[in-house]
Structure 1
Amino acid sequence: MTRARATSLGFIAILLWSLLALFTVGSAPVPPLLLNALTFAVGGTLGLVWVARSGGFGQLRHVSWKVYAFGTAGLFGYHLLYFSALRMAPAAEAGLIAYLWPLLIVLFSGLLPGERLSGMHILGATVAFAGAALIVGGRLIEGGVTLTGTALAGYGLAFLCALTWATYSVLSRRLGEVPTASVAVFCIATAVLSAVAHVCTEATVWPQSGMGWLSVLALGLGPVGLAFYVWDLGVKKGDIQLLGTASYAAPLLSTLALVLAGKAQADLRLLLAAGLVAGGAALAARASAVAKKLGSVRSAL
């Protein structure tokens, strides 16, 4: 698989994650960990079907248990921290902190073998982050910041959430030889752990309508299913710095989806954020293109 094709697959994950908020709203009032268990069960089953049709389960036999532990910890840990943070702190503020992960991916990727972080990458990430902050953190300006003890703990968990997903994504690059089929096992294990955590901590509330069940199914097939498989291919074989910066489009696209569904209202801030996100992604893309061209010239010499 070429680097460009792998990067394109990574973009599909970003598009799917942009529907996460819309489908999550539709799945109410299912509690977070139960929703996690249901959606990862669907995503894991989808993966098992794909594994059976694409190469068989034999390809999973040689994957180390350490890799399975790493992948499961990444998926389960991220969502546990995310849902806990949004329970303890105001959603807009905690969401903004949690959405530091694309910036961290761009910065951490510079430490990988064969990758180089340029000033333009950093500038693009910063500009795009400003756009994401306008969308996710708009209420910070409008309503102020809540600094109770519980909220502060939630902010800390949100930062750990961002750190967890960025670390998972960057370290996945070091596991380039591990088949993407292993993600199916990560998802099934995450579903089991989430179900156990749900039984221990939450009251069971099922979807109240057909639309609720459809939203759960859509989450499992897309943002909590296919997205993880194409993201795995993207970060392992694609341009991880460009994917990290392009991830800032997710909160923008998520807001647009909510607007189109009548769940949010478009305003000037949305248009400004769109320009910042697009500009930041363009800077990162330019930086990657220049670096690739320089690498080709040096190889020729």
Structure 2
Amino acid sequence: MRTPLVTVPQNTAAGILFVLAGMTAISINDVLIKQLSGGYPLHQMVFIRSAIGIIFSLMLVQMEGGFGILRTRTPGLHLMRGLLVVISNLTYFAALAVIPLAEATALFFVAPLMITLLSIPLLGEKVGPLRMAAVTVGFGGVVLMMRPWESSTEVSRFILFLPVLSALTYALNQIMTRKLGATTRASAMAVYIQGIFIVVSLGFYAVAGDGRFAEGVENGSVQFLLRAWVWPEGNDRWLFMGLGLNSAIIGFALAQAYRLADAAVVAPFEYIGLPLAIFWGWLIWGDIPAPVVWAGSALILGSGLFVFIRERMQNRRPPLPPVQGRQ
């Protein structure tokens, strides 16, 4: 017997407010991760924030209908979606430990362009020449930020590629989110994600929690992934608490935004993430993007916005929720 689809009432204003709240929480989450990346391993941060976040998420489950909404007939799909989110987070935050916040964020914003490309083989979507041209220009922005004309850069191009890989796995995740969101509450999806994060981070701890694989490693991203666990002290405890609260807010707010409003209306508001990243990078670390980063960012964001505008001009609803949502 097939699970009946749930009709979700449209509420554009609420959807926009939820996406703005989610993006603000994401920007704060990125700041906290980067701030803590010099002294703690990523899998420890993931475990602590998810253990805290799942408590808040379970409270939201109670508000949305009780623990019964956690039952699902598609556990395999939710597991696959969760693993995609884990990979997306690990690759993005590994890069964030090394490169400026604004640069990592700009490269990640190639996600909606990847969704456009993936919609062709996975959803049978037809993409016209104008949208394909926009995708090409956007990927040109990625190449520009990779600086292929330079024989060497301050960080390896592999590190610069990690946010792009994160965007790819996120795009695949969003394809599944749109389908699963018709039968699953936003709070339930947040709980599934938090649970998978906890299991994966404990697996990292069992294998590498003593830090033995980080000995002698000079790459900052690899150190961030494999460093030994250290119990948080002083103000760091509050930062970890903030990570947990943000994790719950992000998972719920973005899932709720795309359940309540048309993706074509909500998605452009996610681009507030880049100016927020630039602001935090300047305020906290004194980072000012180089001209090539500004240019590449403009190409990526301009292309993504064109895709959404083109969809709306043709009175078509984009089939997927487009951009961020790093839980």
Q: Give the Cα–Cα distance (whole angstroms) in 2 for the partners of residues 269 and 169 of structure 1.
A: 29
- 1:1-301 matches, within 5 Å, as 1-2=9-10, 4-5=12-13, 7-8=15-16, 9-28=18-37, 29-83=39-93, 91=99, 95=104, 100-109=110-119, 117-119=127-129, 121-122=131-132, 137=145, 144-145=152-153, 152=158, 159-175=164-180, 176-180=182-186, 181-202=188-209, 203-210=228-235, 212-222=236-246, 224-235=247-258, 238-240=261-263, 247-265=270-288, 279-280=302-303, 282-292=305-315
Q: From the two aligned structures, give the one with the greater helix fraction.
A: 1
Q: Give the Cα–Cα distance (whole angstroms) in 2 for the partners of residues 125 and 194 of structure 1.
A: 35
Q: Give the Cα–Cα distance (whole angstroms) in 2 for the partners of residues 129 and 248 of structure 1.
A: 17
Question: Following TM superposition, by how much is the alpha carbon of 1:33 offset from its aligned partner in structure 2, in angstroms?
Answer: 0.7
Specify every segment of 5 or more residues in structure 1 that has no aligned partner in the other structure, as ranges. Answer: 295-301
Contact 1:124–1:284, Cα closer than 8 Å, also in 2 = yes
Relative to structure 1, the CA distance from residue 213 to residue 86 in structure 2 (aligned partners, 3 Å threshold; closer, same or farther) is same
Relative to structure 1, the CA distance from residue 262 to residue 164 in structure 2 (aligned partners, 3 Å threshold; closer, same or farther) is closer
Alignment RMSD:
4.1
Relative to structure 1, the CA distance from residue 264 to residue 214 in structure 2 (aligned partners, 3 Å threshold; closer, same or farther) is farther
Contact 1:172–1:236, Cα closer than 8 Å, also in 2 = no
Q: Give the Cα–Cα distance (whole angstroms) in 1 for the partners of residues 310 and 232 of structure 2.
A: 46
Q: Give the Cα–Cα distance (whole angstroms) in 1 for the partners of residues 302 and 163 of structure 2.
A: 26
Question: Following TM superposition, by how much is the alpha carbon of 1:191 offset from its aligned partner in structure 2, in angstroms?
Answer: 1.6
Q: Which moved more, 1:234-243 or 1:166-175?
A: 234-243
Question: Following TM superposition, by how much is the alpha carbon of 1:35 offset from its aligned partner in structure 2, in angstroms?
Answer: 0.6
1:297: which partner in 2? none
Percent identity of paired positions between Structure 1 and Structure 2: 20
Contact 1:34–1:204, Cα closer than 8 Å, also in 2 = yes
Q: Give the Cα–Cα distance (whole angstroms) in 2 for the partners of residues 143 and 3 of structure 1.
A: 51
Q: Give the Cα–Cα distance (whole angstroms) in 1 for the partners of residues 23 and 251 of structure 2.
A: 10
Contact 1:78–1:164, Cα closer than 8 Å, also in 2 = yes
Could you tell me the TM-score, scaled by structure 1's length? Answer: 0.72
Deviations 1:239-279 (A, max 9, x none): 44666665454244212122233542477678767866775
Question: Following TM superposition, by how much is the alpha carbon of 1:66 offset from its aligned partner in structure 2, in angstroms?
Answer: 1.5
Relative to structure 1, the CA distance from residue 284 to residue 155 in structure 2 (aligned partners, 3 Å threshold; closer, same or farther) is closer
Relative to structure 1, the CA distance from residue 189 to residue 53 in structure 2 (aligned partners, 3 Å threshold; closer, same or farther) is same
Question: Residue type matched to 2:312 in 1?
Answer: A
Relative to structure 1, the CA distance from residue 293 to residue 170 in structure 2 (aligned partners, 3 Å threshold; closer, same or farther) is closer
Q: Give the Cα–Cα distance (whole angstroms) in 1 for the partners of residues 268 and 137 of structure 2.
A: 10
Contact 1:71–1:183, Cα closer than 8 Å, also in 2 = no
Contact 2:87–2:169, Cα closer than 8 Å, also in 1 = yes
Question: Following TM superposition, by how much is the alpha carbon of 1:30 offset from its aligned partner in structure 2, in angstroms?
Answer: 1.6
Question: Following TM superposition, by how much is the alpha carbon of 1:60 offset from its aligned partner in structure 2, in angstroms?
Answer: 1.5
Question: Following TM superposition, by how much is the alpha carbon of 1:69 offset from its aligned partner in structure 2, in angstroms?
Answer: 1.3
Question: Residue type matched to 1:228 in 2?
Answer: G
Relative to structure 1, the CA distance from residue 131 to residue 260 in structure 2 (aligned partners, 3 Å threshold; closer, same or farther) is farther
Question: Following TM superposition, by how much is the alpha carbon of 1:46 offset from its aligned partner in structure 2, in angstroms?
Answer: 1.2
Q: Give the Cα–Cα distance (whole angstroms) in 2 for the partners of residues 221 and 120 of structure 1.
A: 41
Question: Following TM superposition, by how much is the alpha carbon of 1:193 offset from its aligned partner in structure 2, in angstroms?
Answer: 1.9
Deviations 1:167-192 (A, max 9, x none): 00122112222222232122123123
Q: Give the Cα–Cα distance (whole angstroms) in 1 for the partners of residues 270 and 280 of structure 2.
A: 16
Q: Give the Cα–Cα distance (whole angstroms) in 2 for the partners of residues 72 and 133 of structure 1.
A: 29
Relative to structure 1, the CA distance from residue 141 to residue 123 in structure 2 (aligned partners, 3 Å threshold; closer, same or farther) is same
Contact 2:49–2:243, Cα closer than 8 Å, also in 1 = yes
